[in-house]
Amino acid sequence: MTSPAQIEFHQFEPDKIAAIEGKISILVDGDGAMDAMARKINTLTKGAVKRLAAGADFVKSSEGSGHVLAFPAGLSASAVQVIKISRRPNIQTARKAGAAMAKFQGASKLTVLAAGNPKAAEISFGLSLRGYSFKQHKTSENELAGSVNFIVNKPEVVAQAATPLTAVAEGIFFTRDLVNEPANILTTTDFAARLVAMKKLDLEVTVLNEAELEGLGMRALLGVGIGSETPTKVVVMEWKGGGDEAPFALVGKGVVFDTGGISLKPGAGMEDMTMDMGGAGVVSGVMRTLALRGAKANVVGVVGLVENMPDGRAQRPGDVVTSMKGDTIEVINTDAEGRLVLADILWYTQERFNPCGMINLATLTGAIIIGLGHENAGVFSNDDNLCAAFLKSAEAEGEGAWRMPLGKAYDDLIKSRIADMQNVGGRAAGSITAAQFLQRFVKEDTPWIHLDIAGVALLKTNSVLAPKGATGWGVMALNRLIADEYER
């Protein structure tokens, strides 16, 4: 898998600054005020930093942005980046500053002079996240990023603060790799194998095969994959870091490729459907993060892995399948397959683990993109307290999320003439009717959230903390939710 940059933290040695090779990043306040390290660079460059900070471009720029002095006189470094940032930045500004450093670094060695900035660890985290690059299938781009050294006043303290953030970065990178991977590589079998490999992190991992799923009555899930040569699987990951309490559950849709089945999608853009396992990818990344940082909580992650393909055996529009719960579903559109996957694994998760709360994630509907664009995931919940806690965590981590409505009136849209329900309700309120469908497989006493991440899992443009492609959205927010609400 892709690994975050290895960042080391060291003490300031003024006499060695002039000899530093590669690139240097320094921090300067918006009013031009400098810490001791920035002042040292300013002195060595004969006031070049001060002149830059007084210029219009720097003054008008936003906090966290970077400005470059190329080939500065008086230094061995090839360039100095001046980051505009206050002496006490918030978390998001600190991470943005780190992201600017990652873009500045390239393949060079980078030395960050962060002095006593209280958010130095968060700056390093932003640098790690923006430094991600998915190059597994590029034969001509083997250039690796250079090393990163943070020079700070208290290296041991900053390194300690950065350690749990490194675990989060690894979880995000794991998610991004999964979502970016093409479907001929990331088959259901390969996906399951990557999760089984996390046993070495002391996760308990179990893989259920098709015969076991049939025995459990998961015919809604199995119907989705019946037209594919790749076998349907369910993978259960258990992290037992708490006491005897019931676990919190994360449930993910893992459609490794979605043609739409017999209700075939248009050809244009179908290549993006390698990301339709994004929900399962986030669940996997969160479980990896929890294990790496030794979270003091009980958490179970359940993912349904399947491929939706058309062939002579494939599920047809008009078919009726019986879910594990026992409810019957008329399949109006085979391209509304994610809710069939989730229906069975949501019920299975509750029956097996009786969780204290449950969140499912899925790249479920195009309708949520129409409603919220690519800035926010859709949040649907039956529990105000759990929903408020999640939204608070998402806001703290800068991951956009917006609560959407649920209501019995929407149930009329998924009534079936011949079964207990149908899997689509037409164009109106498409993301809401999908959530209403899922809610039928959530027990009344289970606090639950459905996250529709279709608009945020993979982007066509760069974001602040990620290059274009998979974002890893949700790993930070869910990790914080568990840390704040469920750890002992």
**Three state DSSP letters for the chain:** CCCCCCEEEECCCHHHHHHCCCEEEEEECCCCCECHHHHHHHHHCCCHHHHHHHCHHHHHCCCCCEEEEECCCCCCCCEEEEEECCCCCCHHHHHHHHHHHHHHHCCCCEEEEEECCCCHHHHHHHHHHHCCCCCCCCCCCCCCCCCEEEEECCHHHHHHHHHHHHHHHHHHHHHHHHHHCCCCCCCHHHHHHHHHHHHHHCCEEEEECHHHHHHHCCHHHHHHHCCCCCCCEEEEEEEECCCCCCCEEEEEEEEEEECCCCCCCCCCCHHHHHHCCHHHHHHHHHHHHHHHHCCCCEEEEEEEEEEECCCCCCCCCCCEEECCCCCEEECCCCCCCHHHHHHHHHHHHHHHHCCCEEEEEECCCCHHHHHHCCCCEEEEECCHHHHHHHHHHHHHHCCCEEECCCCHHHHHHHCCCCCCEECCCCCCCHHHHHHHHHHCCCCCCCCEEEEECCCCCEECCCCCCCCCEECCCCHHHHHHHHHHHCCC
The pTM of the whole model exceeds 0.85: yes
- Which backbone phi and psi does 214 adopt, to 5 degrees? -65, -40
The answer to whether residues 343 and 351 touch, using CB atoms and an 8 Å cutoff, is no
CATH topology (fold) of 7-155: Leucine Aminopeptidase, subunit E; domain 1 (3.40.220)
Residue 180 clears pLDDT 80, i.e. is over it: yes
Q: Which residues pair with 401 in a beta bridge?
A: 377
Dist CA 356 CA 445 (whole Å) = 9
Residue 142 clears pLDDT 80, i.e. is over it: no
**Sequence-distant (≥ 6) Cβ neighbours of residue 326 within 8 angstroms:** 217
pLDDT digits (tens, 9 = 90+) for 256-269: 999 999 999 999 99
pLDDT (0 to 100) of residue 140: 80
Q: What is the arithmetic mean of pLDDT over 196-205?
A: 98
**pLDDT above 70 coverage of the chain, percent:** 99
Q: Is 414 exposed, middle or buried (0-12, 13-18, 19+ CB in 10 A)?
A: buried
pLDDT digits (tens, 9 = 90+) for 290-335: 999 999 999 999 999 999 999 999 999 999 999 999 999 999 999 9
Q: Is 142 exposed, middle or buried (0-12, 13-18, 19+ CB in 10 A)?
A: exposed
Confidence label for 105 from pLDDT (cuts 50, 70 and 90): very high
* Residues with active-site annotation: 265, 339
pLDDT (0 to 100) of residue 144: 64
**pLDDT above 90 coverage of the chain, percent:** 97
pLDDT (0 to 100) of residue 143: 64
- Domain boundary assignment for the chain: 7-155, 169-485
pLDDT (0 to 100) of residue 146: 81
Q: What is the arithmetic mean of pLDDT over 56-74?
A: 96
CATH C-level class of 169-485: alpha beta
Residue 141 clears pLDDT 80, i.e. is over it: no
pLDDT (0 to 100) of residue 98: 98
B/e letters for 221-233, b = 16+ CB within 10 Å, e = fewer, are bbbbbbbbebbbb
pLDDT (0 to 100) of residue 83: 98
Confidence label for 272 from pLDDT (cuts 50, 70 and 90): very high
| CA-to-CA separations, 311 to 225, 260, 262, 377, 390, in angstroms, rounded | 11, 12, 8, 33, 41
Q: What is the arithmetic mean of pLDDT over 348-372?
A: 98
Mean pLDDT value across the chain: 97
Confidence label for 145 from pLDDT (cuts 50, 70 and 90): confident
Dist CA 225 CA 95 (whole Å) = 41
**Sequence-distant (≥ 6) Cβ neighbours of residue 244 within 8 angstroms:** none
Tokens linked to 414 = 């998924």
